[in-house]
């Protein structure tokens, strides 16, 4: 990108990023958003171009893969026990500069996320501080530091405290993207101390939060961006604020929400090579071939007149899989079939397996991660279940709508932002929402969907409405570019 006075320099830092490493949704975001921002700003005629660069740790698992990566530098990071060496590696991903930082403090053949919070804290507090030192070593002053979740939040805090008087960062603004508030980096207190980051002193910050990276980042960020507009509001309430709601209310003028996107090249039924029959909103009758293939593969009765439900999820209380299981139990005598795919909490896995074993003609359960099967389920099912207790953004509901599969979901976070709840007089409806995280509320919403399934003209309109939504990363990236430019202006 051409360097000129109208270029905004952005350092985007995260714990994981596709295609290098992906553990959860953050990997999708960090892999897609910076790349899309860079490309979009190059094509736009706005006031400022965006020179955005990505930094992630050089995890042990990345070293096992075949990426074009070269070592470019070494530098030191200060700690109270002396300087800690850091190595810098570089890769270019479709025009996006990517730096990978390596050190015994980061790697040491460790997993991306430690089970031990002390080790995780040591890894990510070092990484956060090393990201700041990287920009100095590269002699690349940044206009914006864009951090993500607790793993990099301490970089925001360090910039506003330890580096406050450093002339290199005198004009740097900070953004902290909030993907999942409950994960605050508890257990990182010793790491903060080791890297000379003092506790927070804001009177509105609870005492228990003054030693944790995410609250400290939230305390000092110039802009806090939740991953959906609705989640940005929810975190200000006791139900979703995790004990920080009163503190966050004092920062409400800094908080906003921008929806994540999905990769519409990968999740697109007209070009998806993972499914039996490709289709689009104009050829939805071809979707039925994918349903027939699923019913045959899972030994379910083959019929287009029986609604096929799917649930694709991490087996976790947050995802409300237990809510769906209990709700399905109460309407087992109705005409429907269901396939559940996911792995995680052993208790919830067992609940799903028990339900399938008890009702084998109704329900099938697959307790593993299977990306190929996920594509087939999105394409072949009629109704997608997403009963999350909370969902900061969520992408499964967007994918399901892209495939003409109607979501039944709880009205929380990004689910409420992306699904237009069905009402008989609402022409833009795309799915069905329920408010309370109870099996009875889920059942009521599901039964509304099952009833509408047989009204083919209404159902077809719902499918097409969902398929015509714009869930691309371009839309999200354009919003982030606006934020970058507004911070600089």
Q: How confident is the model at residue 45 (pLDDT cuts 50, 70, 90)?
A: low
Indicate if the pLDDT at residue 126 is higher than 90.
yes
Q: How confident is the model at residue 110 (pLDDT cuts 50, 70, 90)?
A: confident
The Cα 474–Cα 171 span in angstroms is: 28
Mean pLDDT taken over the chain: 95
- Backbone phi and psi for residue 228, each to the nearest 5 degrees, phi listed first: -165, 150
Residue 424 C-alpha from the chain's centroid: 32
pTM above 0.85, yes or no: yes
Mean pLDDT of the region 159-184? 96
- Residue ranges of domains in the chain: 7-261+473-488, 284-467
The Cα 22–Cα 111 span in angstroms is: 12
Q: Which tokens sit at 298?
A: 């899972």
Predicted confidence (pLDDT) per residue in 346-404, tens digit: 999 999 999 999 999 999 999 999 999 999 999 999 999 999 999 999 999 999 999 99
Predicted confidence (pLDDT) per residue in 457-478, tens digit: 999 999 999 999 999 999 999 9
The Cα 109–Cα 392 span in angstroms is: 31
For residues 164-189, one letter each, b for 16 or more C-beta atoms within 10 angstroms of the residue's C-beta and e for the rest, the string is eeeeebeebbbbbbbbbbeebbbbbb
Q: How confident is the model at residue 158 (pLDDT cuts 50, 70, 90)?
A: very high
Indicate if the pLDDT at residue 2 is higher than 70.
no
**For the CA atoms of 429, 434, 439, 440, what is the dihedral angle to 10 degrees?**
-100
Architecture of domain 7-261+473-488: 3-Layer(aba) Sandwich (3.40)
Rounded (5°) CA angle 27-28-33 = 110
- Backbone phi and psi for residue 361, each to the nearest 5 degrees, phi listed first: -85, -10
Which of 483, 39, 25 lies closest to 258 in space, CA to CA? 483
pLDDT of residue 422: 96
Beta strands at 70-77 and 84-93: parallel, antiparallel or unpaired: antiparallel
Give domain 284-467's CATH number out of 3.90.70.10, 3.40.50.2000, 3.40.228.10, 3.10.20.30. Answer: 3.40.50.2000
Q: Is 56 helix (H, G, I), strand (E, B) or coil?
A: strand
Predicted confidence (pLDDT) per residue in 132-143, tens digit: 999 999 999 999
Domains 7-261+473-488 and 284-467 share a fold: yes
């Amino acid at each position: 990108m051409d360097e000129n006075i109208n270029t905004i320099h952005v350092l985007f830092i995260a714990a994981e990023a596709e295609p290098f490493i992906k553990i959860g949704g953050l990997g999708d975001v960090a892999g897609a958003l910076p790349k899309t921002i860079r490309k979009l700003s190059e094509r736009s005629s706005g006031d400022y171009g965006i020179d955005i660069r990505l930094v992630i740790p050089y995890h042990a698992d990345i070293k096992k893969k075949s990426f074009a990566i070269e070592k470019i530098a070494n530098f030191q990071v200060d700690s109270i026990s002396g300087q800690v060496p850091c190595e810098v590696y570089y890769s270019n991903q479709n025009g996006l500069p990517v730096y990978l930082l390596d050190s015994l403090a980061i790697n040491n053949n460790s997993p991306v996320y430690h089970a031990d919070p002390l080790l995780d804290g040591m890894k990510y507090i070092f990484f956060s501080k090393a990201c700041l030192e990287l920009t100095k070593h590269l002699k690349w002053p940044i206009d914006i530091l864009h951090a993500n979740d607790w793993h990099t939040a301490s970089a925001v805090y360090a910039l506003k405290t330890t580096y406050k008087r450093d002339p290199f960062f005198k004009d740097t603004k900070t953004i902290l993207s909030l993907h999942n508030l409950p994960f605050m980096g508890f257990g990182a207190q010793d790491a903060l101390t080791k890297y000379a980051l003092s506790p927070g002193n804001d009177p509105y910050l609870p005492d228990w939060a003054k030693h944790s990276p995410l609250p400290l980042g939230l305390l000092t960020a110039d802009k806090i961006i939740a991953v959906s507009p609705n989640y940005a509001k929810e975190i200000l309430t006791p139900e979703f604020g995790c004990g920080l709601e009163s503190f966050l209310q004092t920062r409400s003028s800094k908080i906003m929400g921008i929806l994540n996107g999905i990769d519409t090249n990968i999740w697109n039924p007209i070009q998806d090579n993972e499914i039996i029959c490709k289709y689009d909103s104009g050829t939805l009758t071809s979707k039925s071939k994918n349903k027939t293939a699923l019913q045959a593969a899972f030994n379910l009765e083959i019929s287009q007149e029986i609604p096929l439900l799917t649930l694709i999820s991490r087996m976790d209380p947050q995802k409300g899989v237990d809510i769906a299981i209990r709700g399905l139990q109460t309407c087992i005598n109705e005409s429907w079939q269901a396939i559940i795919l996911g792995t995680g909490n052993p208790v919830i896995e067992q609940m799903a397996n028990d339900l399938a074993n008890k009702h084998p003609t109704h329900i099938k359960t697959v307790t593993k991660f299977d990306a190929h099967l996920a594509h087939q389920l999105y394409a072949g099912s009629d109704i997608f279940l997403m009963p999350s207790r909370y969902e900061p953004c969520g992408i499964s509901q967007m994918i399901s709508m892209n495939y003409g599969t109607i979501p039944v979901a709880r009205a929380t976070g990004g689910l409420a932002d992306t699904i237009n709840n069905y009402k008989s007089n609402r022409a833009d409806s795309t799915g069905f929402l329920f408010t309370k995280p109870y099996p009875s509320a889920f059942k009521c919403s599901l039964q509304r969907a099952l009833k509408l399934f047989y009204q083919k003209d209404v159902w077809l309109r719902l499918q097409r409405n969902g398929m015509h939504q714009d869930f691309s990363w371009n839309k999200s990236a354009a919003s982030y570019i606006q934020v970058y430019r507004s911070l600089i202006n």
